[in-house]
Amino acid sequence: MKVLVTGGLGQIGSHVAEMLLDRGDDVIVIDNLATGRREHLVDHPRLKVVIDTIADKALVDNLVGEFRPDAIVHTAASYKDPDDWYNDTLTNCVGGANIVDAAKRYGVKRVVYFQTALCYGLKPQQQPIRLDHPRKPEGSSYAISKTTNELYLELSGVDFVTFRLANVIGPRNVAGPLPIFYQRLKDGKACFVTEARRDFVFVKDLARVVVKACDGVGHGAYHFSSGKDVAIQELYDAVVEAMNVPGRPAAEVKALGPDDVFSILLDPSRTFEDFGEIEFTPIEQTVAAGIAYYQEHGTLGEYTHLRMEEKKS
């Protein structure tokens, strides 16, 4: 196959690209390096790396029109700053629409897209959340812009799979609690946890399912989720263990904030029906792989899609 991977030097995109190359596919990746890293993909005879932005419509048209990919894996996303509406809309809306439009005009057989669970709002009405839950993305710029692109994809008539994601962690993860815990513990700073629970899934488990989607498995929206959640405290404990932090410092437990929810758990039943049972990597192994990556490459910064009081200190 020929596959174009947007955001191909980021966490999800680079793992997908590696798996495609390993099985003999031809891959072009495009990344603006906002959160991706060139070292995430080593040079390969069937790999072309383009350092640029999908917001450039002429560039996207040329890439898709000349390469004529069988599939596009669209992982590129802006999410570094919850108040940076400009870059969120530039990449997630304008860039995303460029990708979808090019896929439609040049006959791409399949687009694989990634959506945030925040599309269901900060206070989901179901637990676990089913695919029929109404989209209520108004709680964050990231969710608004990601949902906008998902709607364009649905409008296009292009064959697609959307994975609405649990918390994807592991090597090359630059957003969320894992890099934040690592960096603060490394710097000798205190950490806090809330009593919240989340579903943390290993990036390589997701990438294997994405490759199946490139091959034509499934259609429409799916939840990529283990169907089980763990306490944030358990994630923190796994980080402390993987780092072998002297004294095993305890995290301060804080009450849930006004915009936080106890658990965001996605119902993965349709995913298991269409893609088969998934053997999810245990949280301890997932965290250990992520920590090993940070120890070699650093965290690149620690980002979250929502405002966090802790980041002010």
Quick one: pLDDT at residue 301?
A: 62
CATH pick for 2-168+201-224 out of 3.30.360.10, 3.90.1170.50, 3.40.50.720, 2.60.15.10: 3.40.50.720
Separation between Cα atoms, residue 24 and residue 82, nearest integer Å: 38
- Comparing 213-217, 261-265, 270-274, the range with the smallest average pLDDT is 261-265
Phi-psi region of 69 (alpha: psi -120 to 50; beta: other; left: phi over 0): beta
Quick one: pLDDT at residue 311?
A: 38
- pLDDT, tens only, 10-19: 999 999 999 9
Separation between Cα atoms, residue 105 and residue 86, nearest integer Å: 27
Q: Would you call 222 a catalytic residue per the annotation?
A: no
> Which residues of the chain does CATH 3.40.50.720 include?
2-168+201-224
Residue 306 has pLDDT above 70, yes or no: no
- pLDDT, tens only, 213-260: 999 999 999 999 999 999 999 999 999 999 999 999 999 999 988 777
- pLDDT, tens only, 71-129: 999 999 998 888 999 999 999 999 999 999 999 999 999 999 999 999 999 889 998 99
Quick one: pLDDT at residue 123?
A: 87
Strand segments (E) across 108-235 = 110-116, 160-165, 167-169, 192-194, 197-198, 200-202, 220-224, 230-231
8 Å CB contact between 173 and 205 = no
Quick one: pLDDT at residue 134?
A: 97
CATH pick for 169-199+228-264+281-312 out of 3.40.50.880, 3.90.25.10, 1.10.10.10, 1.20.1260.10: 3.90.25.10
Quick one: pLDDT at residue 303?
A: 53
> Which residues of the chain does CATH 3.90.25.10 include?
169-199+228-264+281-312
Active-site entry in 79, 142, 293, 294: 142
